[in-house]
Amino acid sequence: MRKFRKYTATALVAMMVAGMTMSGYQPADVSASQESEYIIVTKDKKSMKTVESKYNTMIDTQEQNTDFLKDENVLVSKMTAKEADIVNKDQKVVSVEKNTMVNASETESTTAAKEDQGTDSQWNLKSIHVDKAKDTATDEKVKVALLDSGIDYQEGLNVKERVNLIEDDNEFSPMFEDSSNHGTSIASLIVSNNGKVKGINKNVELYSARILDENKQAPISRVVEGIYWAIDKKVNIISISFGTNQYSEALKQAIDEANAKGILVIAAAGNQGENGTDNVEYPAAFENVVAVGSVDSKAEVSDFSSTGKEVDVVAPGEAVRATGAFGETMVTSGTSMAVPHVVGAASLLWQKDTSKSKDFIKDLLEESARNLGDKESYGNGLIDYEYAEKQYTKAEEQYEQGQDIELKDNTKTIKTYNNSSDENKVSGTWSAKGHQEYLTENNVNIPAMKDGAVYPDKDDSGVPGMTENPDFHGLYERRHSGNEEVNYLASYRFMIKIGNEYGKGKTYTSVSKADIPGLTDISYSRIRSMMANLQKKSFFKNYSNANKKAFVFGVAMHTSTDTFAHSTYRYYNGTWYSITHAINEEKGQYKKNEADNSKFVPERFDMAYRAERNTLYRYQGKRSDVAVCHDFHAANDPDKYYPSNPAFKVKRISKYGTQVHLSDANVIAHFATINYN
């Protein structure tokens, strides 16, 4: 195949630099007195300190900067355009630029021979011939950093390490850290092993940097910070499913640094096709990034996919099945979804020999791709893992001899599929808000339930913080009121009953305290007060009855899952210690926030996931004949969840079970196994 290489960005940069100073700064078209956030890149650390000191009345970096940014001589500060212009003229400054936002690349003619294969839910894997790939364990795992909206803790979705880089947003449960479900769905296409959605390579060692907020946006400074975090973790691949039309010198510098460290950066080309502009977004537009476009089940470029000379390859990205909130299957579209297919295929090739360079893997992927025609739409073509794997040895010989990789043209017949059913499911949701639809049974409104699940951690809920509001965060006592007992089982049951009333068109006032044994007067009052405030929220007023029920079930779910974070104990050095948020070396806690760390006594979160699923099943009517407080119980594998020597115990779960009148002997016995008085 004649290799189609991306044009260098010289011409593009020249256009963007026109009118700029040599440092790459372009004054913003705003009032000279109006403050905006800027990124300042200095030549070295000494220069950075000098600039900070010299312009200390203009630059305020106290809140906006982290070690990852400062280690790379990057400052972030609010300034006026006039102040930015002054700083930019300093010889110690490389560039000053507006800290613009990036957006997730999610949405909703070929000469190749094609053969229709009918309907297949795994068409995306089969079309790139990765469905039969051997992902058996290897000695050295390929490390992938996913810079996105976080990854919800789920069964079969293993994350090696997580970091949250969103300022002032540290109080959240790993069960629901991905409020948009964007990062979770992408991760599932790479590594999922949950029996519903098959990931490409379950042996990937996945690192998650939470940088996109609930609107799937992030300032460039946060993206840059995420890249440097990934570099620090010595990953092999960085996966980026978002972009911006705005050229950024700081972003380019971070990408260049990643490349210099041997990291392969794979990014979404963007969804500019929706807007009729077709520009490939940054960072995909940079020459040293693999830019990925999207095709549908017919191997035709998606209408939304950005096109241009910068496109390197294409992969399935339209109406693809992935895992979303609560482990449920969703159908989603966008070049965002095309990226993990390339990341997964690259990881499979790389794990054959992790000493191979990123350039070898990149060239092998591009050279082995199936040509689909127009280069600006398809780049080198549709990736083909099977063909790349077969040509691996030949490519290796060429590369080691210092030759360009030039393989025999991939002329395999393209397999196409009838995916109209899933395409129709998402066609009505293709908007800037989000291009996804769930395939959940019994019409559960997953987005409303997910919004409810994250609601207690938000300031505007009025109930953030477990110490101040234990009723909503699974804490066993009220520490600001003489350590009054808080029966989390009763609180959960109260909320579930309230949710059911909303589903009938009624309100929280329809449930009396007498209906909830074990509920204290204060808990009853606090939960009612929160519900009263919730009813005043415009979004809740506009909900259907079913959505109101789903939302309140989500709030209840937060309570049940948080119980396994905030009311648990672990055995250490001969003593059972409470698992807390604070560092306490005597208890074997050497890091902050171990209570919400899914890697610290991970069995807690396995149990929390079971509780999460039970709430979902209850909404679906699958647990209507099961006592509400049994939702804290994992019945499917008692030997796993209730061993004789448990990894953790739950404070007062037996006592609280008695208070709510639990009567099932098995549940009572299992709770006794993990009970801590």
**Range list of H helices, 101-141:** 123-127
HSE of 304 in the Cβ direction (CA atoms, 13 Å)?
25
Handedness of CA 31, 243, 4, 416 (dihedral sign): negative
Of 148, 178, 363, 631, the active-site residue reads 148
Tokens for 3, please give them.
Answer: 């290799």
Q: What is the DSSP string of 564-616?
A: HHHSEEEEETTEEEE--SS-BGGGTB-STTGGG-TTSSTHHHHHHHHHHHHHH
DSSP 661: T
Query: 211, 183 in Cβ contact below 8 A?
Result: no
For the CA atoms of 518, 522, 523, 524, what is the dihedral angle to 10 degrees?
Answer: 80
| Catalytic status, residue 148 | yes
Pairwise CA distance, residues 169 & 213, whole Å: 10
Pairwise CA distance, residues 72 & 333, whole Å: 35
| Catalytic status, residue 182 | yes
Pairwise CA distance, residues 452 & 448, whole Å: 6
Tokens for 227, please give them.
Answer: 């890249």
Q: What is the DSSP string of 137-181?
A: --SSPPEEEEEES----BTTB--SEEEE-STT-----GGG--TTS
| Catalytic status, residue 44 | no
Of 182, 558, 581, 630, the active-site residue reads 182
Query: 463, 530 in Cβ contact below 8 A?
Result: yes
Peptide bond before residue 174 is cis, with ω within 30 degrees of 0: no
230-233 contacts: CB < 8 A, separation 24 or more? 230/145, 230/147, 230/258, 230/263, 231/257, 231/258, 231/261, 231/263, 232/68, 233/143, 233/145, 233/161, 233/207
**Range list of H helices, 39-120:** 45-54, 67-70, 81-88
Pairwise CA distance, residues 39 & 109, whole Å: 42
HSE of 366 in the Cβ direction (CA atoms, 13 Å)?
27
Of 336, 377, 461, 560, the active-site residue reads 336
| Burial of residue 139, with CB atoms counted within 10 A of its CB: 0-12 exposed, 13-18 middle, 19 or more buried | exposed
User: Which residues carry out catalysis?
Assistant: 148, 182, 336
